[in-house]
Amino acid sequence: MKVILINRRYGGSRSIELGRWSRAFLSLCCLGLPMGMMAVGYLAGEGSESRSVKGASLDSMQDELDRQTHELEALRSQAERKLQVLTLNLAGLQARMTRLDALGEHLTVVADLEEGEFDFSQAPAVGGPMASEFSVSYSSRDIDNQLNSFETQLTDREAQLEILGSLLTHRKLRKQTWLSGRPAEKGWISSHFGQRTDPFSGKLAMHEGIDFAGKEGTNIIAVAGGVVTWSGSRSGYGEMVELSHGDGFATRYAHNKENLVKSGDFVKKGQAIALMGSSGRSTGAHVHYEVYKHGRPVDPASYIHRTRH
């Protein structure tokens, strides 16, 4: 095979004779180079496509992971808010239970229950035979429903206990203000209510109370609970204590040796309020006891032997 080379500058030519191996090499270069380039391009394309597919797959997995992470954070935030709500609800219920315990303790005192008969500070005694064990699963909604049901029951109990407390307090108050009994721990009736001969003038006069004679210094006690409206010296009465009991009732305790209470004090039924003496217009140690109803003196005898049914 001949190859002719032409030189345009000098206008000459030159021929080259190619042998068999030269022709083979030249053919290989002419045909193999394009095919090699095509193969390299194909392989490069395959690698690029593979990298592109892998990149897209990784991006998709990353997006899915990010989405799941956001969902997990949202669920965690929701669970924390739910826990905070449950914690606040439980704290409120505990505060109300503490209030109920205090109200229960107050009612045991008002009702005069024996010590240890009913103790609100202790759990109620319960028991029974052993039952078969079983497991129960609770959902968030079940817990919410149970808390709401318990809160409703707690509200009902609070209302019932408040009504009971009001009734017991009113009953005890009525018992405290119920006039009954003698105004002195010891002594005897030395003068009754009504017309009598005055021990100083010798003339007939109205005696508006009952006199209880006794030993000087004997305790004079309140026949009912009330507020002290007078404590001090008064003309004719000497040292006197006056109590207001409500419902238009008032009592007076006169000729005392010493008053043990002062104006404005609240006294309970049976409390010592003075000591028996002979102050004022008196002939000896005694207590002059008067009962007033709506401003008018009445016979104390009906209240001395009074009993409540």
pLDDT digits (tens, 9 = 90+) for 256-295: 999 999 999 999 999 999 999 999 999 999 999 999 999 9
**Residue 197 carries which side chain, given as an amino acid letter?**
T
Same domain, 93 and 154: yes
More confident position, 288 or 112: 288
Same domain, 32 and 102: no
Same domain, 257 and 271: yes
Q: What is the CATH number of the domain that holds 199?
A: 2.70.70.10
Same domain, 171 and 196: no
Would you state the structure tokens that stand for residue 61, as one six-digit string?
């997995």
Helix H, strand E, coil C: the string for 92-110 is HHHHHHHHHHHHHHHHHHH
Note whether residue 125 is domain-resident.
no
Cross-strand partners of 17:
2
What residue numbers bound the domain in which 160 lies? 85-119+141-176
Least confident of 76-85, 93-102, 126-135, 196-205: 126-135
For the question of whether the overall pTM of this predicted structure is more than 0.85, the answer is no
Confidence of residue 17 (pLDDT cuts 50, 70, 90): low
Sign of CA dihedral 162, 167, 170, 172: negative
Q: 226: which residues sit within 8 A by CB, 6+ positions away?
A: 177, 243, 244, 245, 246, 250, 251, 266, 267
Rg (CA), the chain: 55
Note whether residue 223 is domain-resident.
yes
Is a pLDDT exceeding 60 seen at residue 222? yes
Same domain, 157 and 53: no
Note whether residue 128 is domain-resident.
no
Same domain, 250 and 299: yes
What's the pLDDT tens digit per position in 34-61? 666 776 666 666 666 666 656 677 778 8
The total number of residues shown for the chain amounts to 309
- In angstroms, the Cα distances linking 139 to 74, 142, 151, 153 are 19, 5, 18, 21
Note whether residue 217 is domain-resident.
yes
Same domain, 192 and 165: no
Same domain, 64 and 97: no
Same domain, 192 and 171: no
Note whether residue 106 is domain-resident.
yes
Same domain, 72 and 105: no
Note whether residue 280 is domain-resident.
yes
Same domain, 158 and 210: no
pLDDT at 309: 46
CA-CA distance, 139 to 256, in Å (whole number)?
A: 75
Same domain, 272 and 239: yes
Note whether residue 289 is domain-resident.
yes
Domain count of the chain? 3
CA-CA distance, 273 to 252, in Å (whole number)?
A: 11
CA-CA distance, 8 to 231, in Å (whole number)?
A: 152
Note whether residue 127 is domain-resident.
no
